[in-house]
């Protein structure tokens, strides 16, 4: 009588490869969060024209007193499609990073501050997705 064939054990290299992939994705997410944080300082003082040159046309603009607000979305830069960060989070079982809305506040025609929120206007805890919108404005 023939013995049933048992499945081969997984290669010991497979768990190591999965771990390496997870660590690489985590490092990428951390790096994007750093970029989003750096943009808050590096973009301060940029002119409206410089912001338009590196971020493109905003989704909307509004004025409150002497402050002009330009609103952008990380989904604009991703073409409205799922971004690599969202796809990686989904594959790892992590909750996906939300779409980031970047509000650029201009005082006297220059960037005064950046605000990162979700689509409902709540401040974001995880800002890695915001890097998609602001990365072209950072100096290399």
Residue whose pair of structure tokens reads 């409902």 in the numeric block: 120
- Count how many Cα atoms sit within 13 Å of the Cα of residue 86 in the half-sphere of its side chain: 15
| Mean pLDDT, residues 10-32 taken together | 53
Looking at per-residue pLDDT, the higher value among 30 and 80 belongs to: 30
28: tokens are: 């990428």
Whole-angstrom Cα distance, residue 20 to residue 2? 40
Tell me the per-residue pLDDT of 112-130, one tens digit each, with 9 for 90 and over.
999 999 988 999 988 888 9
pTM confidence score = 0.68
Which residue do the tokens 């890695």 mark? Answer: 128
Task: Return the pLDDT at 19.
Answer: 45
Q: Domain residues of the chain, as ranges? A: 14-137
């Amino acid at each position: 009588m023939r013995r049933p064939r048992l499945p081969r054990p997984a290669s010991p290299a497979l768990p190591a490869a999965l771990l390496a992939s997870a660590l690489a994705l985590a490092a990428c997410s951390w790096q994007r969060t750093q970029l989003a944080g750096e943009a808050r300082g590096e973009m301060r003082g940029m002119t409206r024209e410089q912001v338009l040159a590196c971020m493109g046309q905003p989704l909307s603009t509004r004025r409150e007193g002497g402050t002009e607000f330009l609103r952008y979305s990380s989904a604009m830069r991703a073409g409205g499609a799922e971004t690599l960060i969202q796809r990686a989070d989904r594959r790892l079982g992590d909750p996906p990073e939300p779409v980031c809305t970047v509000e650029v506040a201009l005082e006297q025609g220059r960037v005064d501050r950046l605000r990162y929120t979700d689509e409902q206007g709540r401040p974001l805890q995880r800002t890695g997705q915001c890097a998609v919108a602001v990365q072209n404005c950072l100096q290399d």
